[in-house]
Amino acid sequence: MCVGARASLGASVELALLFTGGGRPPGVLGARLIRAFLAKRLGGPEEVWTVGHDAAGAPFALREGRSRPVHVSVSYAEGLVAAALSTASPLGIDVERLSPHGADGALADSFFSEPERAFLASLAQEERRAAFFRI
C-alpha cells in the first residue's frame, strides 16, 4: 500500500512524500514519483518528462518542448520515498530513519555550529534526540 502527501514550500519549490510500507524497490518508486509529480504540477503526461543528471551529477528533469530544466531531488528511507522539485534553483532533499545511534555528540561536534551545539546541550535528554534530527 502507498500513501502520499504533498506540500508547497514557496513559489518555486514543491515536495512530495510517498509512504510505501517497504514493498517495491525505492529506485523504481522514486522515478515514478518524480514523473507523476512533474506531470501533475507542471503539466503534460508523465511520458513527456525525462529525468537525467548534469555534469556534476545533479538530477534534473526536462519536458519535451521546454528549454529550461526543472531541478529535482529524491531521497529514500525505509518505507518512504521523498521527492522535491524546483523551477528556480538546484535543491536537495534527505530523509533518514530515526535511529538512537545517530544522535550523538561526536556528530554534532563535527557538523553543527556552536549555537546549534549549545542549543542541544540546553535540552533535557529526552528532547535532545528529536532536536538533533531537526537541525
Question: What one-character-per-residue DSSP string does the chain give?
Answer: --EEEEEE-SSSEEEEEEE-TT-S-HHHHHHHHHHHHHHHHH-S-GGGEEEEE-TTS-EEEEETT-SSPEEEEEEEETTEEEEEEESSS----------TTT--HHHHHHHS-HHHHHHHHTS-HHHHHHHHHH-
pLDDT computed for residue 54 by the predictor? 87
Q: What is the pLDDT of residues 61-100, one digit of tens each?
A: 998 887 888 888 888 877 778 888 888 888 888 877 766 6
Residue 80 to residues 39, 88, 97: CA-CA distances in angstroms?
Answer: 21, 26, 9
pLDDT of residue 91: 84
What pTM, to 2 d.p., does this model score? 0.62
Dump pLDDT digits (tens) for 19-60. Answer: 666 655 556 677 778 888 888 888 889 889 888 888 988 888
% of the chain exceeding 90 in pLDDT: 4
CA dist 135 and 129 (Å) reads: 10
15 bridge partner residues: 7, 84
> How do strand 80-86 and strand 70-77 relate by DSSP bridges?
antiparallel
